[in-house]
Homo-oligomer: A and B are copies of this chain.
Amino acid sequence: MSQEQFFQRHQETLEQAVSAIKARDYWTPYPENPSPRAYGETAAADGEAAFKAALGKSFELEMPGIVGEVEGEVSPYGIDMGVRYPQVDFDQLIAAMKQETKAWRDAGPDVRAGICLEILDRLNKRSFEIAHAVMHTSGQGFMMAFQAGGPHAQDRGLEAVAYGYRAMKEVPADATWTKPQGKHDPLVLNKKFHIVPRGVSVVVGCSTFPTWNTYPGMFASLVTGNPVIVKPHPASILPAAISVKIAQDVLKEAGFAPHIVSMVADTLEAPITKELATHKDVKLIDFTGSSFFGNWLEQNATQAQVFTEKAGVNTVIIDSVADIKAVARNLAFTLSLYSGQMCTTTQAIYIPRDGIKAGDAQMSFDEVAEALSVATSKFLSDNDRACMVLGAIQAPATVARIKECESLGEVVLASQKLDNPQFPNAEVHTPLILKVDASDIEKYSEERFGPVSFLIATDSTAHSMELANQVISEKGAITLGIYSTDDAILDQAEELAMDAKVALSVNLDGGVFVNQSAAFSDFHATGGNPAANASLTDTAFVSRRFVVVQSRRHA
């Protein structure tokens, strides 16, 4: 396989992706439906078998500096994982990766984009296998693990490739500069403009979205010429490992060193991210995780460009509704999906204490609370559906937090532990919904990661907006929802969103949810409030990953 062949194979998809980031309509080359028609008759069974075959074994990757093995994943569904991953001396690895930077740089944007798209295409074909790996490390339900861990994550990877490719192509490879000199001959210079990568890139993954939050940084760095180390969360290594292995296969086939994409794994007991992230040759860092560690990286990894997605207090403001049942159903899904373990799940729901207008009627605060509570209970009343939607709680700390939070307010809906018949050891918990007063700001203005939300009684919608603006500006948020039948209020919400620099969803009461974002159309995080210093994906996310080095000489 020549280096260019992957580019030729995927050029049309790449061009469509570049168009898609401009048009921002719905678009994807990766079907989200795990159907035999889309993925082949045997894909589901093959994927499950491939996943099971990996369990209890050593997972092999090609990297210089391997000094041993690490393991430690615990499935939130209670199955035995036992996968062992290479343990790497990253000083050796980084030195070896630096050696390969020139070849990867000189390959140029087209070859690199072609290889990225081939990797994504192969990731797509292995979406079932990756879905099982995501499910059993993150705790997501299978359907979500398939979609968010498979095609939707691949979308985000391709989107990053498209942004990076467009940014590089905006710089011409060469130019002739002809400056008139009156009666004399013009000055003529030939110029070259080289896209030069920053250096070794480290992508620090999270336990809950081990592919969706890893692919954007990984592919943005890779397409712009930087070798990439994936540093997965110690609880969610397998999805990253499969992804890195696929990348290595493609790189090798194209004649590059496989370790241009590498993986450095560690354990909860012996974390190495701080040392890795502050290595002098690491020039790019992508991070998804806690605000504490994200802020630490921003302040200490000063040798690198640092892109972070951290915690926040996602918010919904209810002012008035046309149809409370539709609204409650919509929010019930948001609060339930993956037990609120999404970085976009609503935590703070502001409602005037004197109630709201619902259609032609007036509803009290407690009636709104009741409607939400009932909708959530009803949605989760079918145990099979509940287990599928809720998934399992990824971390013991999150399970403990549900209990801890009970005392923070009046319980509107208690969290229940459910049994998953297929996985008896799975930690399945329904949402806890609490009622608090606006004055209890310290209770609802800290991120309570997991299935915990607050219905906050405010003086008025104006008060709700004021509090939302304050909390989001101080603590950050990725999502903001507004429900109102009043255009003036919606205009105010639009202003609030711009003030607090947070994405707004308006009156979602059907099949779209505030906690979901679609690649090529929705910007995930703005990079303008404390929840994240970067957006997935915009031009700022890619343009700092390379510099332009020019040369010029007389023609």
Q: Which chain A residues have a beta carbon within 8 Å of chain B's beta carbons?
A: 22-26, 102, 105, 166-167, 170-172, 175-181, 187, 189, 191-194, 196, 198, 298-299, 302, 493-495, 497-498, 501-512, 518, 521-523, 526-528, 535, 538-540, 543-544, 547-554
Across the interface, do B26 and A179 meet the contact criterion of CB distance under 8 Å?
Answer: yes
Across the interface, do A547 and B518 meet the contact criterion of CB distance under 8 Å?
Answer: no
A6 vs chain B, min Cβ distance (A): 24
- Contacts of A502 on B, CB cut-off 8 Å? 549
List the 5 shortest-distance A-B pairs measured between CB atoms, nearest first.
A506-B553, A528-B547, A24-B175, A504-B551, A540-B543
Given known contacts A167-B539, A187-B511, what 17 new A-B pairs fall within 8 Å (CB)? A24-B177, A26-B180, A170-B539, A191-B521, A192-B494, A196-B501, A196-B528, A299-B302, A494-B551, A501-B547, A503-B550, A504-B552, A523-B548, A527-B547, A528-B549, A540-B543, A540-B544
Interface centre among A189, A191, A527 (most CB of B within 10 A): A189
A524 vs chain B, min Cβ distance (A): 10
Across the interface, do B539 and A522 meet the contact criterion of CB distance under 8 Å?
Answer: no
Inter-chain CA distance A393–B166, complex, in Å, is 45
A531 vs chain B, min Cβ distance (A): 12
A186 vs chain B, min Cβ distance (A): 8
Q: How many copies does the complex hold?
A: 2
Across the interface, do A538 and B528 meet the contact criterion of CB distance under 8 Å?
Answer: no
Contacts A302-B299, A540-B543 given; does A24 touch B172 at CB 8 Å: yes
Q: What are 11 contact pairs spanning A and B, CB under 8 A?
A: A22-B170, A25-B176, A187-B511, A191-B522, A498-B549, A507-B553, A528-B547, A528-B549, A538-B543, A539-B543, A540-B544
Across the interface, do A551 and B497 meet the contact criterion of CB distance under 8 Å?
Answer: yes
- Contacts of A553 on B, CB cut-off 8 Å? 505-508
Across the interface, do A498 and B193 meet the contact criterion of CB distance under 8 Å?
Answer: no
Which one of B102, B505, B547 lies within 8 Å of A551 (CB-CB)? B505
- Contacts of A179 on B, CB cut-off 8 Å? 26, 518
- Contacts of A22 on B, CB cut-off 8 Å? 170, 172
Contacts A196-B528, A501-B196 given; does A548 touch B522 at CB 8 Å: no
Inter-chain CA distance A528–B502, complex, in Å, is 31
- Contacts of A170 on B, CB cut-off 8 Å? 22, 166, 539
